[in-house]
Amino acid sequence: MNKLVWTVSHVVSKSVHKLIEEPIKKCMLGKHGRNVHIGHNVTGNLENIYCGDNVSLGGENLFLSSNAKVHIGDNVMFGPRVTVITGDHRIDVPGKPMIAVTEKLPENDQDVVFEGDNWIGANVTILKGVTIGEGAVVAAGAVVTRSIDKYSIWGGFQQENCGIDSKIYLVNPSILLDKKNEKSNGSYTRFRKRRWRETRSVVDCENGSSNHQNKTGCFISL
């Protein structure tokens, strides 16, 4: 009986989302192309989201973009619970609580851009002014604070120097794929995975050593 109730509830929920929620939220977008899928409970400033073709927004995505825009190119997929924040608060007004400061500077709100052919994993947070380069992948749980190169895979959080007393595991240095490989053998996905396995490395912040010079995304080993 419980299984039957769950099945009926699930079917009804999916039908309501497909027939009512998704079409309404598509109309709320600033612009959208063909074949745009919006998951359940996607919230935020949808009027400032501009989508291309073949875009999938995962369930419970949150877009906080009241004063800037989110530009999503073609063939971009978001995992569940991705958060995109295009602004921040001023902390430079003495004698006034931050919550009471309503005047903003131009640098407080900046567009976020997904150039296309991107995969954004679950629970990723992307902050203002970031551009996700074409073909780039962001691993689940990452916090992205600055732009990501084309055809690279990022994970963890980004920082210039590992100034902490713990080991940092480098998920992936920037992998810049030669477009010729994609066009010549038609196996872009397999090539990207092969390069990923070949170039992953470990950064030891205590000793400042690494077997790869281009340190980008990091995971902290707790």
73 token code pair: 């190119």
Question: Which one of 10, 32, 37, 89 is the catalytic residue?
Answer: 89
Q: Are 148 and 133 in contact (CB under 8 A)?
A: yes
Q: Which residue has the tokens 């100034």?
A: 163
Q: Are 57 and 65 in contact (CB under 8 A)?
A: no
Q: Is 32 a catalytic residue?
A: no
95 token code pair: 């004698």
Residue 55's nearest CA partner among 71, 43, 72 is 72
Q: Are 158 and 141 in contact (CB under 8 A)?
A: no
- In a 10 Å sphere around its CB, with 0-12 CB exposed, 13-18 middle and 19+ buried, how is residue 189 labelled? exposed
Which residues are catalytic, by number? 89
